[in-house]
Amino acid sequence: MDILTSKSNGILMIEFNRPDKKNAITAAMYQTMADALKEAEADPAVRAILIAGKPEIFTAGNDLEDFMKNSSQDAIGERPVTQFMVNLSRAPKPVIAAVAGAAVGIGTTMLMHCDLIYTADNAKFSMPFTQLGLCPEFASSMLLPQIAGYPRAAEKLLLGEAFSAKDAYEMGLVTRVVPADELRAFANAQATRLAALPASSLRATKSLMKSAQTAAIDAQMMEENKYFGTMLSAPEAKEAFAAFFQKRKPDFTRFS
């Protein structure tokens, strides 16, 4: 299974399990995660959710071959990735992310919708949307400037270059950095602490913190989807994807 899910001691674990492909995410994987989050919302036995990857990699982001195969089949709002991100952003229960290794593209974007983000000291983050001829997704163009301030957000989103766990912590993107060999145990311990607290208090506290932003996040997602859908079929993105599959550097100089 490319996504492993399990429930234990009040915690739903969702784990990327495709290390041979650097945990690149397919539509089927998104659907599994979307369904798991929706089921957790209605399951009183689930009191906290933990999303994790492998010690060497969180996720390389979208599986580009699968992404291109499925990108024209459904409207953006109906795709499994959208279902997953909407369910994540609206999850009423606390969501913890445990990040080790690379978190590329949506691997970084999804963290902005989690509540506690614990990262190993070997983590690397990147949002290379402009390098693919695309734009930010799932409200990251709004949330990252709010989290990090406009200048730092602009550097990460416009250049799309990778940045370290230390940088992520200093800009407020992650909650805490821990040694790589301690990450999973630490994240599990924090999830266990949450699961032991009154579930109604956790839901109310999370709702109060996030409710003022819910409408704005939904609106920003819709606005980004409009740009993203148009840019996906534009010449720049076609050149970027062709270059990726041909293992060459893209040439954007002929596009204005």
**Per-residue pLDDT tens for 232-241?**
999 999 999 9
User: Rounded mean pLDDT of 109-138?
Assistant: 97
| 173-218 confidence digits (pLDDT tens) | 999 999 999 999 999 999 999 999 999 999 999 999 999 999 999 9
Closest C-alpha to 124, from 149, 150, 99, 152: 99
pLDDT at residue 120 tops 60? yes
Closest C-alpha to 98, from 133, 57, 158: 57
Residue type, 69: K
pLDDT, mean over the chain: 95
Model pLDDT, residue 216: 95
Model pLDDT, residue 256: 82
Q: Are strands 3-8 and 124-126 parallel, antiparallel or unpaired?
A: unpaired
| Number of neighbouring beta carbons within 10 Å of residue 251 | 10
Model pLDDT, residue 73: 57
Render 24-61 in DSSP notation, one character per residue. PBPHHHHHHHHHHHHHHHH-TT--EEEEE--SSEEE--
| 123-134 confidence digits (pLDDT tens) | 999 999 999 999
Q: Give CA separation, 203 vs 61, 63, 94, 145, 209, in Å.
A: 29, 33, 7, 26, 10
CATH class of 3-180: alpha beta
- Lowest-pLDDT choice from 24-33, 100-109, 227-236: 227-236
- Lowest-pLDDT choice from 72-81, 84-93, 148-157: 72-81
Q: How do the domains of the chain map onto residue ranges? A: 3-180
* Cβ 109 vs Cβ 143: under 8 Å: no
Closest C-alpha to 59, from 112, 101, 30: 101
d(C-alpha 133, C-alpha 13), whole Å:
34
| 20-70 confidence digits (pLDDT tens) | 999 999 999 999 999 999 999 999 999 999 999 999 999 999 999 998 887
CA 51: distance to chain centroid? 10
Model pLDDT, residue 78: 78
CA 87: distance to chain centroid? 12
pLDDT band at 74 (very low <50, low <70, confident <90, very high): low
Model pLDDT, residue 15: 98
- Cβ neighbours of residue 123 under 8 Å, at least 6 residues apart? 58, 99, 100, 101, 102, 103, 164, 165, 168, 174, 177
Model pLDDT, residue 69: 81
* Cβ 144 vs Cβ 112: under 8 Å: yes
Model pLDDT, residue 118: 98
| Residues facing 48 on adjacent strands | 11
pLDDT > 90 fraction of the chain, expressed in percent and rounded: 91
d(C-alpha 241, C-alpha 8), whole Å:
41
User: Rounded mean pLDDT of 120-147?
Assistant: 97
